[in-house]
Structure 1
Amino acid sequence: MRLVQVAQHADDLERAAAFYTDLLGVPPTAVFDPPGLLFFDLDGVRLLLDRGAPRALHYLQVDDVRVAVERLRERTRVVTAPHVIFTHEDDALGPAGHEEWQAFVEDSEGNTLGLVSFHPPA
């Protein structure tokens, strides 16, 4: 079994497309309006922004949470600033010996979005 698609609410597809294009560094894969669907490809998993979907909380891995939050700071509300969650002792949930950094931002449509990156301890 493999994850194929996740969906979350978006009132304004154009605004959501601009936000996620900036965050992900790639344009949308497809737009169908009507009925109000916007897709991005996340390494084979579809992110669907849909006018009819409920709100959601997704965690996306980025190269560096601190850099991503600074780039987005003027476009969004930072819910929780970048911080270390824990250091991975083994490879069960992330690379062994690396710190897991997380931050939470509000996307252009009011969804909370978790950003995650892994770094060797300083």
Structure 2
Amino acid sequence: MRLVQVAQHADDLDRAARFYTALLRTEPTAMFDPPGLLFFDLDGVRLLLDRSAPSALIYLQVDNVHEAIERMGGAIEVVTPPHVIFTHDDDTLGPAGHEEWQGFVRDSEGSTIGLIAFQRP
């Protein structure tokens, strides 16, 4: 079994498309409006931005949390600044010998997103 799709609430699909295109550095794969669906491909998992979906707390892996936030500039509200939450001694939850950095931001639609990066100390 594998995860196929995650849905996130979005009121304004055009605004959400601009936000997520900038954050993810990729264009949407499909938009169907009506009924109000916007898709991005996240390495084989679909991110569905949907007017009727509830808000979810999703975590997205980025190369560097600080750089991702800086790159977004004023288009992103930082909820919790980047910080190390864990150092991985083995590969159970992340790559061994890496610190796990997380920061939380609010997307264009008001939902909180976790950004995660694995970096060597």
Counterpart amino acid of residue 63 in structure 2: D
Which TM-score applies when normalising by structure 1?
0.98
Q: Provide structure 1 residue ranges, at least 5 long, that are not aligned to the other structure.
A: none
1:17-46 superposed Cα distances (whole Å, 9 cap, x missing partner)? 000000011100000000000000000000
Q: Provide structure 2 residue ranges, at least 5 long, that are not aligned to the other structure.
A: none
Aligned residues: 121
SS at match of 1:74: helix
Shift of 1:73: 3.5
Which TM-score applies when normalising by structure 2?
0.98
Partner of 2:64: 64
Matched, 1:32 2:37: no
Q: CA RMSD in A?
A: 0.6
Partner of 2:76: 76
Structure 1 runs (4+) greater than 3 angstroms displaced: none
Identity %, equivalent residues: 74
Matched, 1:86 2:81: no
Partner of 1:96: 96
Tell whether the 8 Å contact from 2:69 to 2:76 is kept in structure 1 after alignment: no
